[in-house]
Amino acid sequence: MESTVGFQAEKKLILSFYDALDSASGADLTAVMTRFCAPNLLWRGFHPFNEITGPQEVARRFWQPLKHSLTRLQRRQDIFFAGANSLSDDGIWVVSMGHLMGLFDAAWLGIRPTGKMAFLRYCAFHKVADGQITETAMYFDIPHLMVQAGQNPFPPQTAAHLVQPGPITHDGLLFEDQPADEAQRTLNAINAMISDLGQWDSGLSLTDELARTWHDDMIWWGPEGVGATYTIERYARQHSGPFRAAFTDRTKTRHICRLAEGHYGGFFGWPNFTAVPSGGFMGMPATGKPGEFRVIDIYRRSGDKLAENWIFIDLLHFWNQQGVDILTRTTGIETP
């Protein structure tokens, strides 16, 4: 009989938190955040939110404005899993990925409302300790929302713009305990991929290198500004190859959390790495300035290789470091 590792208490806490958060509005959001989160909660979000300390501040600066803009907000989860951080003994983390969907009825961050349905791609890592959320990394694709509102902040991207679906297998919501050995197999596949990627020069062709850890019909669900791409050959042509050609001096990978459960796993960093844009990237000229890449990657494993990958990259933060305030340039409104 296969052994299982359970994280039911942590999962139930996050699901209860989401139930309360998703039904709350206005001042009630502060009460919900205070009820479920530690007083010294560390919340990491994409630019212009960055790091926020304390549940009251997260409610005031993020959730209240977002819910005022995206009315009737609905959480549409595609992936949900939990596990111990494989990089340290700092506890259990619960991961949720999907879209926050609402009616875009009021401006948010200067982005024009449409009065229509809009989707904010998100992924959140929640650290749970002593029955409370003590840390959250919540990454969300603001440029993707901008494109839906008709305010495309970037030149034409190399891959496809899509409202991205969940796993083709429709089995990403891991509410039940999973076999322990499956989590280890998923971590092994992710770690092997990271090892190859970290070299940026394995001595193999890019497609041969990718084939070591990816299925040929892989799907890379990339962020707005880059896009989604399908198969190793097209991924190499439409993202990985151009990206490697655009950057030099890439630092080693430094993740804060990396975990897996069942066939799903992922990681985040703050930042994951830095690199210098020495060639053109996203239609913009090289700056020669080091830039940080804050990234969440979520993976689905099939067999011993990776099959799907959902990616969140804080491109607003990266370009802000290069001297370009994408939000202000696009909306005409100064961001805090």
Q: Are 94 and 10 in contact (CB under 8 A)?
A: yes
Mean pLDDT score, 288-310: 97
Higher-pLDDT residue of 48 and 279 is: 48
Pairing of strands 132-140, 37-45: parallel
Q: Does domain 178-331 have CATH number 3.10.450.50?
A: yes
Q: Are 256 and 270 in contact (CB under 8 A)?
A: yes
Say yes or no: do domains 4-148 and 178-331 share a fold: yes
CA-based nearest residue to 79, from 315, 314, 301, 305: 301
Kindly report, residue by residue over 252-268, the tens digit of the pLDDT.
889 999 999 999 999 99
Q: How far is CA 313 from the centre of its chain?
A: 7
Q: Are 335 and 317 in contact (CB under 8 A)?
A: no
Kindly report, residue by residue over 13-40, the tens digit of the pLDDT.
999 999 999 999 999 999 999 999 999 9
The DSSP annotation for 78-140 comes to: EEEEEEE-TTSSS-EEEEEEEEEEEEE-S-BTTBPP-SSEEEEEEEEEEEEETTEEEEEEEEE
Q: Are 136 and 41 in contact (CB under 8 A)?
A: yes
**C-beta neighbour count of 328 within 10 angstroms:** 15
Which strands make up the sheet holding 273-277, listed edge to edge? 247-248, 273-277, 291-293
Phi, psi of 238 (to 5 degrees): -95, -15
Residue 1 has pLDDT above 50, yes or no: no
What's residue 2's pLDDT?
54
Q: Where are the domains of the chain?
A: 4-148, 178-331
What's residue 193's pLDDT?
94
Q: Are 196 and 212 in contact (CB under 8 A)?
A: yes
What percentage of the chain carries pLDDT values higher than 70?
96
What percentage of the chain carries pLDDT values higher than 90?
83
Residue with tokens 């429709």: 170
CA-based nearest residue to 74, from 109, 118, 42: 118
* Best CATH choice for the domain 4-148 from the list 3.40.50.1100, 3.10.450.50, 3.30.390.10, 3.30.70.20: 3.10.450.50
HEC readout, 256-319: CEEEEECCEEEEECCCCEEEEECCCECCECCCCCCEEECEEEEEEEECCEEEEEEEEECHHHHH
Q: Are 195 and 187 in contact (CB under 8 A)?
A: no
**C-beta neighbour count of 312 within 10 angstroms:** 26
Q: Is pTM beyond 0.85 here?
A: yes
78, two tokens: 């595609």
Using pLDDT thresholds of 50, 70 and 90, give the confidence band for residue 73: very high
Q: Which of the 8 DSSP states describes residue 74?
A: E
Using pLDDT thresholds of 50, 70 and 90, give the confidence band for residue 199: low
CA-based nearest residue to 94, from 13, 164, 165, 16: 13
Nearest 5 degrees, angle CA 49-CA 127-CA 274? 50
51: CB partners within 8 A, 6+ apart: 42, 43, 44, 45
